[in-house]
Amino acid sequence: MADMKLTKQSENYSEWYNQVILRSELADYAPVRGCMVVRPYGTALWENIQADLDARFKETGHVNAKFPLFIPMSFFEKEKEHVEGFSPELAVVTIGGGQELEEPLVVRPTSETVIGYMYAKWIESYRDLPVLINQWANVVRWEMRTRLFLRTMEFFWQEGHTAHATAEEAEEETLKILDVYTTFARDMAAVPVIPGLKSDSEKFAGAVRSYSIEAMMGDTKALQAGTSHNLGQNFAKAFEIDFVDENNTLQYCWTTSWGLSTRFIGAIIMTHGDDQGLVLPPRLAPTQVVIVPILRKEEDRAQVMEAVNRLFAELKAAGIRVKVDDRDNVSPGFKFNEWELRGVPLRFEIGPRDVESGTVMTARRDMPGKPGKKVMPQENVVQWTGDLLEEIQQAMYDKAVAFRDAHIFDPQDYAEFQQSVEDGWAFSWWCEDAACEEAIKQDTKATTRCIPLDQPQGEGVCIHCGRPARRKVYFARAY
RNA sequence: CGGGGCGUGGCUCAGCCCGGUUAGAGCGCGCGGUUCGGGAUCGCGAGGUCGGCGGUUCAAAUCCGCCCGCCCCGACCA
């Protein structure tokens, strides 16, 4: 019985995280160390994320394509910072068909290089620009320490790769996508994020500038939930992606890349989850409403199931993702706990009492226990269910914002700063010197998360060294 | 790659120190009954090369050696 209960977040957050994922059947460990199987429930969630993001990419003019899994080793050597950044984590194929290969093939850790190679072939004139391609793919990075969803050796993501005629356009694209990610996180996942610029030490290997969206998890650690890079002309020069402009002058393209991965599922889990398990935002939840019939006597069955099936059909016809749990080998109480563990936003209980009174007992996942329970009429079920789901979506976002804001501090001196990054995040002036950043990391384990696009007025002094500082930055311990 | 821990039915573990009949428990699983508004209950049942290889011994889950794998903590990371 004791092992029916989940480890509490306050007891051991990372144990809670692992248990929630395994028990809710989002994912499981694969036979290969560091790899995971995304189970049907997790895949359904990812597909909802995909569908929404994909629509947003298309709205902003992007198209999808598929590039190969294998990349010639030599491609990685063309861009100096890129190879330095990635070589420690490459998986390399050296044998094919029983023969040693002439040139080893890298299993893609990201696709800038192959895509750059292809862009060089495809782009000739300014009339070919911009090229705005996205791909949904899996990538492999050899990792020391892995965590389900947060850091696995193989992960699933989308990677966008664009090429432009001017530096301004490339920067505009980079920021446009950062905004797509920010909006998606806020409106669909109810995950508040801070969009901002990465420090030099945190930026993508080969980028001129990297931007990210940063989210606060339930243990106050930061999670980089999506990234967008302005690659300048670095890859264009390495792969000779060039074009002739209106004046017939040969120019290098300006490229960008951006990605959001299955790690985002980790963000959803740790932003909203509670001691009961997952809490999924209605807009992304694979199942939005679960109906549990309560059958006390065999004579009740027909009437109860009639009401259950009728409401199910109405909701389904209205496009609400609804499921009836009619298993007869587990008790209603067991089902309540199980669907709570799995984060379904709304639960309906329908029993003989409801049949008699024409009602439905509803329970909100985001408000555990009595406060979240309410008796509703069977009439207008589509209307009020839709309203309730939206209310839950909004309440989840508000709660996450309140939690985050309560854990962001503005320390006045370095002693306070050290306490701040123990209790949450510090939002502080920083001199932007890498040495200072490193010293802070050594002292506190906190790193710069991002320099937010929204900056306060004025100037200050660096929280660590006291030198003049132009911008404020978020410092936090991060996943 | 350094430090620590662990490998026994699907899962969590007991048994090992001190070798000795058919290797146990709880949970889960299957069948049947009574149940069902917050993790029901009773009965019957299926399921194990004790991580692998070698050694010691009349006898090894238990003692010894080697190997493999996993987990946790540190240096790198979407």
Q: For residue A178, give the nearest of A160, A190, A155 by alpha carbon.
A: A160
Question: How, if at all, do strands A471-476 and A425-430 pair?
Answer: antiparallel
Nucleotide nearest to A261 (CA to C1'): B78
Comparing every residue's Cα with the C1' atom of nucleotide B12, the nearest one is A3
Comparing every residue's Cα with the C1' atom of nucleotide B77, the nearest one is A143
Question: How, if at all, do strands A99-107 and A70-72 pair?
Answer: antiparallel
Q: Provide ipTM, 2 decimals.
A: 0.84
Nucleotide nearest to A355 (CA to C1'): B37
Residue keyed to tokens 């007025």: A457
Same-domain status, A68 and A202: yes
Question: Among residues A243, A272, A301, which one ends one of the domains?
Answer: A272
Q: Which positions 267-306 on chain A have a beta carbon less than 7 angstroms from any atom of strand B?
A: 276, 294-298
Question: Is strand B in 7 Å reach of the CB of A241?
Answer: no
Low-confidence stretches of chain A (pLDDT < 50) are 1-2
Same-domain status, A156 and A208: yes
The H helix count followed by the E strand count for chain A is 14, 25
Same-domain status, A267 and A295: no
Same-domain status, A340 and A442: no
> From the CA of A332, how many Å to the C1' of B73?
42
> From the CA of A142, how many Å to the C1' of B55?
39
Decide: A424 and A403 in contact? Cβ < 8 Å. Answer: no
Structural element, H or E, at residue A472: strand A471-476
Supply the CATH number for residue A267's domain.
Answer: 3.30.930.10
Segment A236-287, tens digit of pLDDT: 999 999 999 999 999 999 999 999 999 999 999 999 999 999 999 999 999 9
> From the CA of A298, how many Å to the C1' of B31?
21
Supply the CATH number for residue A312's domain.
Answer: 3.40.50.800
What is the structure's pLDDT at A142?
Answer: 86
Question: Is strand B in 7 Å reach of the CB of A353?
Answer: yes
Same-domain status, A199 and A89: yes
**Domain enclosing residue A337, as ranges:** 289-391
Same-domain status, A102 and A237: yes
How many folded domains does chain A comprise? 3
Segment A370-429, tens digit of pLDDT: 999 999 999 999 999 999 999 999 999 999 999 999 999 999 999 999 999 999 999 999
> What residue spans of A196-351 are helical by DSSP H?
234-239, 263-272, 301-317, 332-341
Question: Is strand B in 7 Å reach of the CB of A204?
Answer: yes
First-residue to last-residue Cα distance in chain A: 33
Question: Among residues A240, A272, A304, which one ends one of the domains?
Answer: A272
> From the CA of A27, how many Å to the C1' of B62?
37
> From the CA of A104, how many Å to the C1' of B54?
39
Nucleotide nearest to A154 (CA to C1'): B78
Same-domain status, A148 and A253: yes
Same-domain status, A88 and A204: yes
Angle CA A146–A149–A152, to nearest 5 = 35
Q: For residue A271, give the nearest of A284, A258, A259 by alpha carbon.
A: A284
Scored b (16 or more CB within 10 A) or e, A392-405 reads bbeebbebbeebbe
Same-domain status, A142 and A260: yes
CA atoms within 13 A of residue A359's CA, in its CB half-sphere: 11
| Secondary structure E strands in A262-412 | 289-293, 322-324, 346-350, 359-364, 373-377, 408-409
What is the structure's pLDDT at A3?
Answer: 56
Same-domain status, A248 and A186: yes
Two tokens, residue A202:
């945190």
Same-domain status, A240 and A384: no
